[in-house]
Amino acid sequence: MRILVIGSGGVGDAVARIAARREFFEAMVVADVDPERAQRTVEAARKHDVGTDRFVAATVDASDPASVEALAREHRATHVLNAVDPRFVMPVFTGTLAAGADYLDMAMSLSHAHPEAPHELPGVKLGDEQFALADTWEQAGRLALVGIGVEPGLSDVFARYAADHLFSRIDELGVRDGANLVVRGADGEPVFAPSFSIWTTIEECLNPPVLWSAERAAAGGGVEDGWYTVPPFHEPEVFDFPEPVGPVECVHVEHEEVLLMPRWVDAQRVTFKYGLGEEFIGVLRTLHRLGLDSTEPVQVRGASVSPRDVVAAVLPDPATIGPHMTGATCAGLLVTGTGTDGAPREVYLHHIVDNAWSMAEYGAQCVVWQTAVNPVVALELLAAGTWAGAGVQGPEAFDAVPFLELLAAPAPLGYGSPWALQERVPAGAAD
């Protein structure tokens, strides 16, 4: 296996650092529009490389399919991992196909709100542009494994596991994501510093959230009819995350899991809620009111700039805030329904990463590390032939058990990052 990683930001950098300790691949090319950033990632990975000279830095224009294709061909890449902002998904996606390689990403092609009823009906949904090319990928005998980060990604693996091993009927697959992370400035006071790309965060949080209903799908005649939208920050709830995170207010957010899970897993409802917190929601609302969430360029003293790019430029780089961050992040899936024994059941399948641990072990802050480890696990399963396929596929299309075992197994056999299952009292059950 020869891997080309497009993007050496926080997640791409963590991918290389994690992969360096694994033996399943022959070469990894880390490419970025900034050659110095790619070289820094390669140098960090080489310090822990269990192979010999497997890491190479390169330059790429992720907005140009021809640039992606040429680089993949030059390095004889068998797999391309997309680790750049979702606005570049389609150029990397199509460039990879043209190069005859397999593809993985952690975020899917962008959505576009319905022009007349954005808070009722979906327009162009996340991933629609990729699924439109599914037949082309299948006919080429190539695999595009989409949404294989942590969320989407690990949460989708949890959905497959729950359907295959824990439940006879699933009422709801509810992704719930929260953290107790704090970033402090030089004066020791907390500062606003998102732990993930603010460009992606704005996209997720201010777009109309998508939900899925089996009842709507049945009434309309198919899976596509089950998706509908609600206003941003809809239906807040306080979700009690496992320690050390604790209770966090969560709201509906647009996310790929809701667009992936219903295609492969039977459930009555699919939702995604993110623990943003009051301050974060307030900042996002302000950005929206001021038009600073816009991606349309504006003229500023003769220069054409996107307001959202300006916001991203003035905030701390998520890849650099790890030393100033404390706390842990929790990603997981709340599954409710009927267990295999016929009794009501509710479980929260989850994965927690502590920032102090990820910084000490890998030099990567916990949110980007948690995102990055999952595509590396998937690549290892693909290299072994444990996972295989063609077309555009989500993580739910594959057996969950090998993935979860490899993720949790102690190093060097596995990745030493255990997940957990928390039984909860089903709603309406007796105390």
Q: Please give the biggest Cα pair distance in the chain.
A: 68
Distances (CA, A) of 45 to 9, 114, 222, 367, 413: 14, 43, 46, 19, 19
Token digits for 180? 């107790």
> Strand (E) positions, 106-243?
143-145, 167-179, 182-183, 210-213, 227-229, 237-241
Report d(CA 142, CA 390) in Å as an integer: 5
**Number of independent structural domains in the chain:** 2
Residues 100 and 161 in one domain: no
CB 251 within 8 A of CB 276: yes
- What pLDDT does 204 receive? 74
Report d(CA 59, CA 42) in Å as an integer: 13
Question: Is 114 domain-assigned?
Answer: no
- What pLDDT does 333 receive? 98
Closest CA to 193 of 179, 203, 182: 182
Question: Is 403 domain-assigned?
Answer: no
CATH number at residue 289: 3.30.360.10
Residues 161 and 271 in one domain: yes
Question: Is 141 domain-assigned?
Answer: no
Q: State residue 229 phi and psi, 5-degree precision.
A: -120, 160
User: Which of 105, 140, 170 is the endpoint of a domain?
Assistant: 105
Residue 118 CB coordination number (10 Å):
16
CB 93 within 8 A of CB 87: no
Residues 94 and 189 in one domain: no
Residues 95 and 227 in one domain: no
Question: Is 134 domain-assigned?
Answer: no
Cis peptide before 209 (omega within 30 of 0): no
Question: Is 241 domain-assigned?
Answer: yes
Residue 223 CB coordination number (10 Å):
13
Token digits for 394? 């989500």
CB 366 within 8 A of CB 373: no
Which DSSP string do the residues of 84-131 spell out, in sequence order? S-GGGHHHHHHHHHHHT-EEEESS-PPPB--SS-TTTS-SBPTTHHHH
Radius of gyration of the chain (CA): 21
Question: Is 132 domain-assigned?
Answer: no
- What pLDDT does 430 receive? 54
Name the residue type at position 273: K
Residues 88 and 190 in one domain: no
Closest CA to 334 of 319, 349, 316: 349
Per-residue pLDDT of the chain in tens (431 residues, 90 and over written 9) = 999 999 999 999 999 999 999 999 999 999 999 999 999 999 999 999 999 999 999 999 999 999 999 999 999 999 999 999 999 999 999 999 999 999 999 999 999 999 999 999 999 999 999 999 999 999 999 999 999 999 999 999 999 999 999 999 999 999 999 999 988 888 888 777 776 677 777 877 788 999 999 999 999 989 999 999 999 888 999 999 999 999 998 999 999 999 999 999 999 999 999 987 777 778 888 888 888 888 889 998 888 988 888 888 888 777 777 788 899 999 999 999 999 999 999 999 999 999 999 999 999 999 999 999 999 999 999 999 999 999 999 999 999 999 999 999 999 999 999 999 999 998 776 55
Residue 287 CB coordination number (10 Å):
19
Nearest 5 degrees, angle CA 209-CA 211-CA 213?
A: 165
| Enclosing domain of residue 167 | 154-367+418-424
Q: Which bin fits 327, alpha (ψ -120 to 50), beta or left (φ > 0)?
A: left
Against a cut of 0.95, is the pTM above it? no
Site of tokens 């807040």: 236
Judged by DSSP in three states, 145 sits in: strand
The tens digit of pLDDT for each residue in 307-316 reads 888 888 888 7
Residues 199 and 281 in one domain: yes
What is the DSSP secondary structure assignment for residue 184, as one 8-state letter? B
Question: Is 144 domain-assigned?
Answer: no
